[in-house]
A and B are shown apart, each in its own frame.
Chain A
Amino acid sequence: MPDFLTALNPGWLLILAGIVAIFLPMRRLRQGITIAAPLIGIAMLALADQNVNHLTASVMGLDMILYRVDGLSFVFGIAFLLAALLNAIYAWHTDNRLQDGMALAYAGAAIAAAFSGDLMTLFIFWEITAVTSVFMVLAAGTRASYFASMRYLGIQVLSGVLLLAGAAYVYNNTGSLSMKAFVSLSEPGALLIFIALGIKAAFPFMHNWLQDSYPKASVVGAVVLSAFTTKLAVYAFIRLFPGQDALIWIGAVMTVFPVFFAVIENDLRKVLAYSLNNQVGFMICAIGLGTAGVGNALALNGATAHAFVHIIYKGLLFMSMGAVLYRTGTTKASELGGLYRSMPWTALFCIIGAMSISAFPLFSGFVAKSLTMSAVSHEGLTIVWLMLLFASAGVMEHSGIKIPYFSFFGHDSGLRVKEAPFNMLLAMGMGAFICIAVGIPALIPGLGYEWLYNLLPYREEAMNYQPFTFDHILTQLQLLVLATFAFVLLKRFGVYPPEKPGTILDTDWLYRKIGFGMAQWAGTVWGKVGPAMTAVFFGLTGQAYDRIEAAFSPRGELARGGLTGAMAVWTAALLGLVLLLAFITVG
């Protein structure tokens, strides 16, 4: 490969192609570019040497590593590129220059960030993902989506600002911006970066930007959004905070609490957003485990493998709900049901995604989640392990059963629509293929789950791990079959809560009601206090002016008759003072 091509970060290629696409009115040509760019990116990445700095630059004394590939970033790069490819196919039926271009640039920014070798480059692409991704929400064109996008942008930029502040602090202390793992959070720079990453990974209490914006995005936009931002944060956590104890508990809490929200949520795209939270929790928990030895390799492999398969199956689930939204105009569970009659292929692909995320054996979630669960039990963390197992049953509830059941089966809504457009089915079919292809045993060595394990950063440890043991399969089937049986039982006895339309309160209530209310109150108060303060100010300055005028103006006190005398006395006094000062200082 020529030198300039080996030095080109595939992410940059996508960003450049995205910028071109924004200005390209020829629809099919533009869409051809959005499909070709990820394909070329995959080829470039496959040919790139690993653990070499392909492109460095020195800007204002900062040594920046703009393109570096290693075992970890390679997996995320491939997953992001595959997601970009599927998204482009999924968007084939649309004609929206801004959305096409921004989606590609957003993917490119996430890829470029994953291949950056220092904190400053990471920050730059971190911010580009924020700015490009907001167009996915804006593309929906509703006023609610506009307000959501502004909240989204604010929070994403806040994350970037914290990252920059942390990087500046680290640079000041150590003189280096390299992407080394931080040892402790007691250093303020590390803590700032930790919070910045935590916002993007949607940590508990920082998570609501996700459930607020993703369900309000356009049909295509939500699919695009689901792949990149949170997984980029997961990548950065693996890079910067492996083995950070706090992550174990944060991750465990993250897996559990969204489960309860997902049960009562009516909007199925919002259910998927909560499910995304829960899945990222598994990865975060695994990253916290990576301390040393076998546990480290198992856990970090688990987080990486989980991120890869999650990008594909969560994309697939968002695609299937997008197809439903496209044809019916809604994803509210209370208005859907029985759609398998009109959209059987979409239903089939949705079920494959649902079985993957629930980690059924022979589907991709199983081979990834087994690594994490084994690592947790290996470390002997009983409560965390029980929490993750609880969350696994929860995933079965909201993503495994609720999503397909309430949209495609259950009570027949009477909606008779067309099957999804062919390009959507093709993208879903490709996603479903990957879900099964990496989930099956390696019938041919190197394929099946071994293909995925071969990519993982700790390759040897991964290849020594056996996901398809009788124990694993039996225990996982027990969990899932009896959870499904619980569903059928609860349905049969009529104690399953009915799907009701409504808004579920979450932590965003704090800023959308309390915060907004306080801002309104502050506005009202200012509206009254402001003029009052202005009046006081003008009153005081007016009085002062009047006094000054009374003394110094041509009609004032000092201009009156006794001026000459008074002036002579004042001048003589001042002269005396100056002479006295001069005498003292010189003497």
Chain B
Amino acid sequence: MSNDTPETRDTTGRFLKRAAEKAHDLHTVSDEGVHPMAKILFGWTEAKHIGAIMFWGLGLLGAFLIVLDLFVNRHDYFTFANSTGFYGLYGFAAFTFVVLMGWPLGNLLRRGENYYGDAGGPPADVDPDRPQGPADVHPTYEGDE
């Protein structure tokens, strides 16, 4: 939007116009296809060394929560759950176990995508303007011989 408002306009009008322009900018996607809100909400995920920051940040936060546990006299129904850092360590162990089980289970249970026949692409009500992948030339369908 060009700013061709005559200088004679009163300041409230200019203020509203600027606000409107600002609002317009906030939902106008840039040429690279990036939504302006993305920078505001999640720009921090593109920071340099974000991986290291997350790693050390979460590690320190976790350590802090466990240390905090030392000073709190919790009263769980189970005595073992009252031990310092039980929840944190259990959560860590459970999460790691589940994820690492993904390796053997994936090998055991994963079959080809068309194991039961071709899934037949996306449902009918998707956006017709969506980016198109390479067309499937000879689809075979589930139930076909």
Contact = CB atoms under 8 A, between A and B. Distances in A.
A341 B90 contact: no
Contacts of A260: 98, 101-102, 105
Given A344-B37, A415-B131, A502-B113, A143 B141 contact: yes
A345 interface: yes
Contacts of A348: 41
Contacts of A475: 74, 76, 81, 86-87
A485 B89 CA distance: 11
A325 B126 contact: yes
A490 B96 contact: yes
B71 to A, nearest CB: 10
Interface in A332-371: 340-345, 347-348
A482 interface: yes
Contacts of B114: 503
A486 B95 contact: yes
Interface in B59-96: 59, 61-62, 65-66, 68-69, 72, 74-78, 81, 85-92, 94-96
A377 B62 contact: no
A342 B131 contact: no
Contact of B123 (A325, A340, A345, A484): A325
B15 to A, nearest CB: 26
Contacts of B89: 482
Interface in A409-466: 409, 415-419
B106 interface: yes
B9 interface: no
A503 B112 contact: yes
A94 B125 contact: yes
A584 interface: no
Contacts of A470: 72
A25 interface: no
A477 B142 CA distance: 45
B39 to A, nearest CB: 8
B143 to A, nearest CB: 5
A120 to B, nearest CB: 36
Contacts of B66: 478
Contacts of A159: none
A497 B99 contact: yes
Contacts of A488: 51, 54-55, 58
A329 B81 CA distance: 46
A502 B98 CA distance: 19
A301 to B, nearest CB: 18
A503 B110 contact: yes
A393 B125 contact: no
A347 B41 CA distance: 9
A476 B133 CA distance: 43
B127 interface: yes
Given A345-B37, A482-B89, A501 B113 contact: yes
A502 B41 contact: no
Contacts of B55: 485, 488-489, 492
14 contacts: A143-B141, A260-B102, A341-B35, A397-B99, A408-B42, A409-B42, A416-B33, A488-B54, A488-B58, A490-B100, A497-B102, A504-B111, A505-B115, A512-B116
Interface of A: 94, 96, 99, 139-145, 147, 216-221, 259-260, 263-264, 325-330, 340-345, 347-348, 377-378, 380, 382, 385-386, 389-390, 392-394, 396-397, 408-409, 415-419, 470-471, 474-492, 495-497, 500-506, 512-513
Given A340-B45, A408-B42, A502-B115, 14 more contacts: A260-B102, A378-B77, A390-B90, A397-B98, A418-B129, A479-B88, A479-B91, A482-B91, A483-B91, A485-B55, A487-B99, A489-B96, A491-B51, A492-B51
Interface of B: 27, 29, 32-35, 37-38, 40-42, 45, 51, 54-55, 58-59, 61-62, 65-66, 68-69, 72, 74-78, 81, 85-92, 94-96, 98-103, 105-106, 109-127, 129-133, 141-143
